[in-house]
Amino acid sequence: MKIGCHVSIAGKIWQCFQRAEAVGSETFQIFTQNQRQWKSVHYTREDIEQFHQLRKQSIYRDAPIVAHASYLINLCADDSEKLQRSRQAFADELERCDALGIDYLVIHPGSHGGKGEAWGIATIAETLNLTFEKYQPNVQVLLETTAGQGNNLGYRFEQLHAIIQQTERKDHLAVCVDTCHIWAAGYGLENEQAVDETLHAFDDILGLDQLKVWHFNDSQKEKGSRRDRHAPIGEGLIGLDAFAYLMNHPAFGEHPAILEIPGGDEKFKENIALLKSVRK
């Protein structure tokens, strides 16, 4: 796998390349705007051109770059006004990603707000269908596995499968697996056998070809806790062995593995070096 981390876009968005290189990232993830604001950002032609130029000149010329959608977006919001805002914000994310040449856009499926799993899945699929009917993006949208907190959907592989099955343009969709999230949702990662069982379950339900990006995060909380608390690699309850096994798994040779851990750049640098050291 290619190992990297989430990188800040503070200042100018194109400064992400320098920041990623500084911590040893081989790939990286960004937000395309402030992840906690509804106001949509539209980049100037100069910023977009600079982004493309710096990518061509960097070690990321041929490496996949990942974006993460705003945390405010809820593809199945139970409030009609928020649902419309979410749909517009999602469409804006797609257009920004395409302008920047981003390869993957990771998004949380959404929270049904108490209206039930079936309603939530149908509404997410409706949102995706309406969006892709108006705009067919080049960036591939990745539904992220979740920890299952509250009414959030995506904590079971079957839910992600159902969303994709109800979406007409399936070619625009795939999956991002977050290790902390699936652990919190009850999937095993504690040893090689448990990892294999989890991968087999994913393959049976979705197909491993649908898994495009990993989020590599250890967990502060126990398996099945339904609590999303990231920890640095090897400092949580999952442990280093699972990540070392995944790093060398033949199914994921060039897949991006993105760290989203606490501790800032120094911890990113330390964990990236650690994961490179266990890669054979």
Q: Among all residues, which ones are annotated catalytic?
A: 36, 68, 71, 108, 144, 178, 181, 215, 228, 230, 260
User: Is 179 within 8 Å of 189 (Cβ atoms)?
Assistant: yes
**Which helix (H) or strand (E) element contains residue 110?**
strand 110-111
Distances (CA, A) of 126 to 4, 83, 141, 162, 164: 33, 11, 15, 12, 11
Question: What are the tokens at 247?
Answer: 């790093």
CA distance 213 to 66: 8
User: Is 83 within 8 Å of 47 (Cβ atoms)?
Assistant: no
Only one residue has tokens 């991968």, namely 199
* Spacing of C-alpha 253 from chain mean position: 18
How many C-beta atoms surround the C-beta of residue 142 within 10 A? 25
Per DSSP, the residues of 193-242 read HHHHHHHHHHHHHT-GGGEEEEEE-EESS-TT-----EE-TTSSSS-HHH
How many C-beta atoms surround the C-beta of residue 144 within 10 A? 19
How many C-beta atoms surround the C-beta of residue 161 within 10 A? 19
User: Is 96 within 8 Å of 51 (Cβ atoms)?
Assistant: no
User: Is 268 within 8 Å of 227 (Cβ atoms)?
Assistant: no
